[in-house]
Amino acid sequence: MGLLIKNAVIVNADKMEKKPQDILCEDGKITQIAVGIDAGTHEVIDAAGKKVLPGLIDIHTHLRQPGREDKETIETGSRAAVKGGFTSIMCMPNTNPVIDNPMVVEFIIREAKRVGLCNVYPIGAITKGQKDEELTDMGELKAAGCLAFSDDGKSVLNSRLFRLSMEYAKMLDVLIIEHCQDPLLTSGGVMNEGAVSTRIGLKGDPAIAETVTVARDIEIALYLGAKVHLAHMSLKRSCELIRMAKAQGIKVTAEACPHHFALTDEACSSFDTSTKVNPPLRTQEDVEAVKAAIADGTIDCIVTDHAPHTKEDKEVGFDGAPFGLIGLETSLALTLTELVHKGIIDLSQMVDKMSRAPARIVGLEHKGMIRQGFDADIVIIDPDRTWTVTQEGFVSKSKNSPFIGWTLKGLVETTICGGKVVYKV
């Protein structure tokens, strides 16, 4: 018995179909797309009046397990993912122990399969222990299941090591994801350096801490003819550098997060530690530039940078609180509310940014499109349904979101992973 989605208005990255069709899913694959498929003994979902998208793919999450299961686990993070419409997520290596050896990779994959909600792909560390001293064995980690490598949480400051990592990644055909931030320039900054930080008396993190690293990484990619992916871009100048690099044919891709196009550094005036993120919230000019870069393709994909923290960790002074906010459950709705419904991008472009482009960037060949023969990873949404973000509504183990109380437009109604319904509203 398979799963049959009736009356599906399909939205792919290349176009939105005008007429409803049926989608038959069998053995984890999409086996037929046509009008009037016989229901037979199949489980049936009626998608009339909704939009049917390929499952969302997030290539930048933090699941905290192993080591900080009080903040999040693979199970709770997976539940948050499918509630948010994500069928595939990639988890960053800054766990304890760090994802720098095959045993940790195998544990994460095994635990994700036990949970059985969505696909979880570990991202291996670039350097052992994320100490910026010695490269990990990327070949061994790739064989264990890593599709990409990053020291996210901090940059690889050692430029020689970063060059070597890109050379090895090129040989192995895997992706390097770089957290662009020079810690010698941030020097303890807790929010964007500018007029707001001066007014409220918090130490600023200067924009150049991001842009000098963006520029370095682009130059190394050019020199090596290698590809690099730049994480959570937040600045107008970063977008300009990436746009120029792409125009020159340099193999650079980039991502942005909803909080960097939905909030400005003015939000930090509340001293709500959920607004303390890394890189920090920026100015309105930067927000508009990030939106424009998403619209024109300079920014390739939208990610969550889902970074859960306990109530105890966050309920301290702004200076002492850890960086990060949760995003898996609000990302789609924020993108619909702030970009689609405001006419900055359309639904097909959103699908490209949140599904097809991430699949292409990390090499998930049979994901990111609703097409015969592709994996049956599908999300059914009502793009016009409004809902209010509440603390009680989160299924993530942590609740550190600055969007609590916001009314958003766009709701996930059903998430299907591998042809199995894993979430229903």
The phi and psi torsions of 216 (rounded to 5 degrees) equal -60, -45
The two tokens of residue 99 are 């994802």
Given a cut of 70, the residues of the chain with pLDDT beneath it are none
Whole-angstrom Cα distance, residue 71 to residue 62? 10
Q: Which helix (H) or strand (E) holds 203?
A: none
Give the residue carrying structure tokens 């850890």: 322
Helix (H, G, I), strand (E, B) or coil at 363: coil
CB atoms within 10 A of CB 223: 11
The candidate with the shortest Cα–Cα distance to 180, out of 294, 60, 293, is: 60
What are the beta bridge partners of residue 26? 29
Asked about 217 being catalytic, the answer comes back as no
The candidate with the shortest Cα–Cα distance to 368, out of 45, 33, 55, 15, is: 55
Q: What is the DSSP letter of 101?
A: S
Q: Are 96 and 115 in contact (CB under 8 A)?
A: no
Question: What confidence score (pLDDT) does residue 66 get?
Answer: 98
Q: Considering the candidates 152, 305, 352, 375, report the single residue annotated as catalytic.
A: 305
Question: What confidence score (pLDDT) does residue 1 get?
Answer: 84
Q: Are 108 and 99 in contact (CB under 8 A)?
A: yes
**Domains of the chain, first to last:** 3-51+376-424 (2.30.40.10), 55-362 (3.20.20.140)
Q: Are 26 and 40 in contact (CB under 8 A)?
A: no
pLDDT tens digits, one per residue of 102-128: 999 999 999 999 999 999 999 999 999
What are the beta bridge partners of residue 88? 57, 119
Q: Which helix (H) or strand (E) holds 112?
A: helix 102-115
Contacts of 38 (CB under 8 A, 6+ apart): none
